[in-house]
Amino acid sequence: MVIVVALLLLGLFLYAAVQTAAQSHQLRIEERELRVELVELRTQRAELEGLSRYLASDEYIEAFARERFGLAFPGEVTVEVDASAPLATIRAPGERWWEALFTD
Q: What is the pLDDT of residue 37?
A: 97
Q: State the virtual CA torsion across 60, 66, 67, 69 in degrees, nearest 10.
A: 120
Q: What is the pLDDT of residue 103?
A: 63
Q: What is the pLDDT of residue 50?
A: 95
- In sequence order, what are the residues at sequence separation of 6 or more whose Cβ sits closer than 8 angstroms to the Cβ of residue 72? 66, 78
- In sequence order, what are the residues at sequence separation of 6 or more whose Cβ sits closer than 8 angstroms to the Cβ of residue 54? 60
Q: What is the pLDDT of residue 102?
A: 72
CA–CA distance, 64 with 54 (Å, rounded to integer): 12
CA–CA distance, 12 with 20 (Å, rounded to integer): 12
**DSSP 8-class letter at 57:** S
Q: Along the 104 residues of the chain, how does pLDDT read in single tens digits?
A: 989 889 999 999 999 999 999 999 999 999 999 999 999 999 999 999 999 999 999 999 999 998 898 888 899 988 877 777 666 666 677 777 777 677 65
In 3D, which of 46, 64, 44 has the Cα closest to residue 55? Answer: 64
Query: In one letter, which amino acid is 83?
Result: A
